[in-house]
Amino acid sequence: MPRLQPLTAAHAGLLPTALVAAGIASASALVWLASPALFRSLLLTLWLLGLATALPPHSGRRPAAAAFITALLLLHYLLTALPVSIPAGAAPADLPAWPGPLMRQGRNFIEPFLGRLTAGLWPGRLELGIAILLAALISSLWPIIRRSLLRRASNRRFQSLAWSLAEIPRRTGAWIAAESLRALLLASLWGGGLFLLGFDLPAAAGFLMLLASPTPFWGPLGAAAAALSLAHSPQPALQAGGAIIVFAVAWLASHLLFGGRLHSARPQLPRLLILSAVFAGALAAGAGGFLAVLPLWTLALHITTGAKPPLRPAP
């Protein structure tokens, strides 16, 4: 049963994974430098293609696809105001003596960072339209493309190519779908909870949680810790207590609902290794590096593992 093994760090060598990750990072940087709009469109297309693997495969495809596109457009419409709302939240003047300075520092980090990020990555309506069109086109043409690629492979390469062409999209698609569902749940519960608790900029906190969710364990913890600086009431300790309860509920709900999916889709990496990787990412590229390093590494790991067909151990 080759496909039921959960992916671990031991499944792919460190060097091939690092090379693939470096390749993806360089290609992304080049595309970004060439045109940020093209980068946004491609990123969104790949994400949509990943999500498309979670759609039902046959009879209900058309209604499901229509519902999916409508939900995306609605989400985009609802969140269009987000980049505008981020700089609007100024730090209140009545911050306590402690941890007031820390909260001010947190706000000084979160607001400009999310402002820059959303300005750079938030797609326009045209880019969203292009991405939806491209994703629909690629996913419907994929069987023909795959057949054509397989036909061109030599006998020697046929087995491994057939495996890779089925396995890499399956692995990455399952991972993207599981992470997206979990991130949406965590972000909506977290943002909604902070809104009810009276935090400033709950949408920004939710968005930060959405971005940090694909980094196992440390990502949501880091996003939650950073969001505590957005507390607004005269008693931030009380608000922080409420936020900790909200976080625990969101964390538990996400694990109860998507734990199985995540376990089979995510590589099982040691937490210390993840912590080292995110610190290295943060040192190299700041907060963006902190958020991007694990998704990039996981994608590279899925590609390297999916490219290597398994072999049953000899009896």
Partner 1 sequence: MTLSTINDSAGRGTPCLEEDLHSIHSLARLLPAGQRRLQRWLQVRTFATEEPVYEEGEAAVALYFLVSGSLALLSGRRSGPGDRLKIVQPGGTCGCAALSTLAFYGESCQALEPSRLAVLPNSSFTDMQQRYPDIALALLQGILDETLDDWRAALTAYHGLTSHLTRANIIV
DSSP conformation class of 9: G
Does 93 contact partner 1 by CB under 8 A? no
Q: How far apart are CA 198 and CA 151, in angstroms?
A: 60
Does 311 contact partner 1 by CB under 8 A? yes
Judged by CB under 8 A, the number of residues near partner 1 is: 29
Q: Around 282, how many Cα atoms within 13 Å sit in the side-chain half-sphere?
A: 13
Taking the complex as a whole, the smallest distance from the CB of residue 59 to partner 1 amounts, in Å, to 9
- Residue 126 token pair: 């045209």
Q: Please give the distance of CA 125 from its chain centroid, rounded to a whole number.
A: 21
Q: Token pair 């460190």 is at which residue?
A: 14
Stretch that binds partner 1, among 2-10, 24-32, 111-119, 121-129 (CB under 8 A): 2-10
Q: How far apart are CA 164 and CA 145, in angstroms?
A: 14
Stretch that binds partner 1, among 108-116, 162-170, 193-201, 211-219 (CB under 8 A): 162-170
Taking the complex as a whole, the smallest distance from the CB of residue 157 to partner 1 amounts, in Å, to 9
Does 153 contact partner 1 by CB under 8 A? yes
**Residue 268: beta bridge partners?**
8
Binding mask 101-140 for partner 1 (x = CB under 8 A): ----------------------------------------
Task: By CB under 8 A, name the one of 147, 238, 268, 286 that touches partner 1.
Answer: 147
Of 2 and 101, CB closest to partner 1: 2
Task: By CB under 8 A, name the one of 14, 90, 143, 272 that touches partner 1.
Answer: 143
Does 6 contact partner 1 by CB under 8 A? no
The stretches of 80-201 forming alpha helices (DSSP H) are: 82-85, 100-121, 125-152, 155-197
Q: How far apart are CA 189 and CA 191, in angstroms?
A: 6
Does 3 contact partner 1 by CB under 8 A? yes
Q: Which residues contact 279 (CB under 8 A, 6 or more apart)?
A: 290
Does 62 contact partner 1 by CB under 8 A? no
Of 98 and 158, CB closest to partner 1: 158
DSSP conformation class of 4: G
Stretch that binds partner 1, among 117-125, 231-239, 281-289, 306-314 (CB under 8 A): 306-314
Least Cα distance to 78 among 87, 70, 67, 90 occurs for 70
Does 307 contact partner 1 by CB under 8 A? no
Give whole-number Cα distances, 36 to 50, 208, 293, in Å.
21, 21, 20
Residues that bind partner 1 in the complex, under the rule CB under 8 A: 1-4, 57-58, 143, 146-147, 150-156, 158-159, 162-163, 165-166, 309-315
